[in-house]
Amino acid sequence: MNVEESWKIGDVEIPGKLILAPMAGVTDLPYRQICKEMGADLICTEMVSAKGIYYNSPNTQPLLEINPKERPVSLQLFGADPDIISEMAARIEELPFDILDINMGCPVPKVVNNQEGSALMKNPKLVGEIVSKVSKAIKKPLTVKIRKGFTEKSVNAVEIAKIVEDAGASAIAVHGRTREQYYAGVADWEIIRQVKEAVSIPVIGNGDVDSPERAKALVEQTGCDGIMIGRASRGNPWIFSRIQTYLETGEIPPQPSAEEVREMILRHARLQIEYKGEYTGMREMRKHVAWYTAGMPHSAAVRREVNEVETYEQLERLVKDRLES
């Protein structure tokens, strides 16, 4: 399978199939940079509130920061008001992102209770209005990320996909779970295949790709154009290079060594400090260290002790003492 084969979203060339999913609290600038270096072909930002931009929320500005090195990059907005979301899309269009994505898949209660994220799947008419208004407001390609449906009784990914295509979207990403499932159970890849058959715009498959073999299986079973990887990349940016090697050669590369994990944690920490300062950067590294070390010897002790870490030197000492080669 040729993983290096380029394809397009609108007029934006994507150099290969591998896509880092947008994940709130995870895909910030430092982590995106690491995943890009490890082989992700398209990078997605954390979701950004259209209302947050509208009201000039101080928490929103850092989420809009993009490094030209990570391009092509997709910036994800969420909201449910067609006027606000289209006006904010136009307002930020000059930023150095390549693709604008609208979140219609987030299952988190505080988003869903505002009728945003995956709640939009309950209102196909509003979905069409949002996509139509935003696609007319900007020149950059527009994509939409959806789920299988809101509940198992209201599976409507195919209907929504046709609506967003007709309304002007250039691609669609489908997570094979309902909102009701959250992240439990198994992702239904059959719905991704059905969406791929129903529309002519590129379709990105998402859900349960946690190994090189699963990445290949997703493409074979669904025919999807892109492979979106979310939770399986947390603490595991190597997943992109390992999938790439497997799809190109058929060989499964070894998992990273303890030394490679150690070095990656420290590199990640240095990037966090560079962008956010030591105080915030080290506190944000705590969850990443837990993900990086999951399943390793002493990982429980590392998770416990990392919550006391406040400086880079303390982190360096911890990973060197606890993560044996």
Alpha-carbon distance values, 225 to 37, 63, 75, 154 (Å): 21, 27, 19, 26
β-pair partners for 205: 174, 227
> What is d(CA 92, CA 78) in angstroms, rounded to the nearest whole number?
14
Report yes or no: 239 and 39 within 8 Å, Cβ to Cβ.
Answer: no
* Nearest CA among 175, 246, 241, 237 for reference residue 213: 246
Active site residue 35: no
Out of 35, 44, 106, 224, the active site residue is 106
> What is d(CA 93, CA 25) in angstroms, rounded to the nearest whole number?
23
Please name the amino acid found at residue 248. Answer: E
In which element (H, E) is residue 47 found? strand 42-49
**Terminal Cα-to-Cα distance of the chain (whole angstroms):** 34
Active site residues: 106
